[in-house]
Amino acid sequence: MGIAGPRGEIGSSRISPSPLYWRCIRVCRRYLAAILSQGGDELQGGVLVVFYGVAVAFLVVGIAGLAIGISMSRSITGAVHALYAGTQRVMRGEFSQLIQVSGRDQLAELAALSTP
């Protein structure tokens, strides 16, 4: 006699499922056969509708994510470009122009520190 594990007896050459497992399989097969014999076309149509709904939902989420990503990258690169252009002017000795500061993030704080 071996040690009992989650799938049967450890050390035995063959692991057999419990009678409850086989009963559940038989019941599920009966119900599935009854559903498919009564309205197989309706079931396939419903599955197709669900599939298309999930596909459209993923498409909408993907497009929204792309739009948000583009918007965020433009705002970040725009702020970095303005800071870079202002720093270049300061390096050339043009102290008359100020760097425009907008927002309350770390880039805006850095730009505020760069202005005379």
Distance, CA of 86 to CA of 98 (rounded, Å): 7
For the chain, give every domain's residue range: 3-114
Residue 61: per-residue pLDDT: 95
Token pair in block for residue 2: 């071996």
- Cα R_g (the chain), whole angstroms: 33
Neighbour tally for 79: CB within 10 Å: 20
pLDDT at 1: 44
For the chain, percent of residues with pLDDT exceeding 70: 68
pLDDT band at 2 (very low <50, low <70, confident <90, very high): very low
Give start and end residues of each alpha helix (H) in the chain. 19-91, 106-114
Q: Residue 10 and residue 25: Cα distance in Å, rounded?
A: 24
CA end-to-end span of the chain: 86
Q: Enter the pTM of the model.
A: 0.44
The overall longest dimension of the chain from CA atoms, in Å, is 91
Model pLDDT, residue 7: 52
